[in-house]
Amino acid sequence: MSEPPRHTRPILAADLERLIEGSVAGEPSARLELAHATAAALVSVGRDAAGDPTDRFVRLADTVGLDTLADLWRGAPADSLPGALWALYLLQTWCTENGTEVARLYRTGRSLAPVDEVVAGVRDDADPDAIAAVADSVLSGLYDGDLGVALERGAAFFRVVAAGRLFLAAEGPDGDAERDRSGRNRACAEGLTRAAAAWRAGTLR
């Protein structure tokens, strides 16, 4: 499937400098605008094979740092581009740092969400290495594949994990924390699903 045309105004270095100054000054609207600007630029530059690697925009992203960008994206709406990038960043970090636990939840949930399990595309063994490989593959899909597919794979992964977490949660109050986490996992999935639909409609920003 071909990607929808992008209609957003090009982001200029001067715009970013102004936004960063506003963000540092603590202006909430500037922080949100910067979250959208940095997310759009990182995706567009990453997907442009002809892009100049010394482009000032890329250097700015390197200077700001991924952790800082993630902090900006964290507060964005779940179905926006920065919100979706935050969810995928969270997924990749989680799978890398807690692969054994994620694999346990995923293996439990796969039979409870068979369609999502197919979409997520984890190897049959679903061991920590397979879990980390899928997280890396989803992130790489932002740049060298259909971004809508990458977002849908991330959503499917979160749904399988949510199902596994809910199934394993203890009964009564002892399981409340896990049920809450399961709800948050499902909320991430719903945001990514809406973001994928918006990308294909050409309205994701």
Dump pLDDT digits (tens) for 68-98.
Answer: 777 778 888 989 999 998 898 889 889 989 9
Closest CA to 194 of 36, 83, 45, 39: 83
Q: pLDDT-derived band of residue 105, with 50, 70 and 90 as boundaries? A: very high
Query: In this predicted structure, what is the pLDDT of residue 35?
Result: 81
Task: Count other Cβ atoms within 10 Å, centred on residue 2.
Answer: 5
3-state secondary structure 150-189: HHHHHHHHHHHHHHHHHHHCCCHHHHHHHHHHHHHHHHHH
**What is the distance, to the nearest Å, from the Cα of residue 137 to the centroid of all Cα atoms in its chain?**
12
pLDDT digits (tens, 9 = 90+) for 52-73: 433 444 555 556 666 677 777 8
Average of per-residue pLDDT across 16-34: 62
pLDDT digits (tens, 9 = 90+) for 124-163: 889 999 999 998 888 877 767 688 999 999 999 999 999 9
Q: Can you tell me the distance from the alpha carbon of 152 to that of 147, in angstroms, rounded to the nearest whole number?
A: 9
DSSP symbol at 108? H
Q: How far from 52 is each of 13, 61, 135, CA to CA, in Å? A: 14, 14, 27
Evaluate if residue 176 carries a pLDDT over 70: yes
DSSP symbol at 145? S
Do 155 and 196 meet the contact criterion of CB atoms below 8 Å apart?
A: yes
Query: In this predicted structure, what is the pLDDT of residue 5?
Result: 39
Evaluate if residue 113 carries a pLDDT over 90: yes
Task: Count other Cβ atoms within 10 Å, centred on residue 22.
Answer: 16
Q: What is the percent of the chain where pLDDT is above 70?
A: 73
Rg from Cα positions in the chain: 18
Q: Can you tell me the distance from the alpha carbon of 205 to that of 145, in angstroms, rounded to the nearest whole number?
A: 18
- pTM (two decimals): 0.79
Task: Give per-residue burial for 66-100: e unless 16+ CB within 10 Å, then b.
Answer: eeebbebbeebebbbbbbbbbbbbbbbebbeeebe
Query: In this predicted structure, what is the pLDDT of residue 66?
Result: 63
Q: pLDDT-derived band of residue 205, with 50, 70 and 90 as boundaries? A: confident
Chain mean pLDDT for the chain: 81
Query: In this predicted structure, what is the pLDDT of residue 33?
Result: 78
Q: How far from 146 is each of 113, 139, 141, CA to CA, in Å? A: 23, 11, 6
Query: In this predicted structure, what is the pLDDT of residue 53?
Result: 39
Query: In this predicted structure, what is the pLDDT of residue 151?
Result: 95
Average of per-residue pLDDT across 108-115: 96
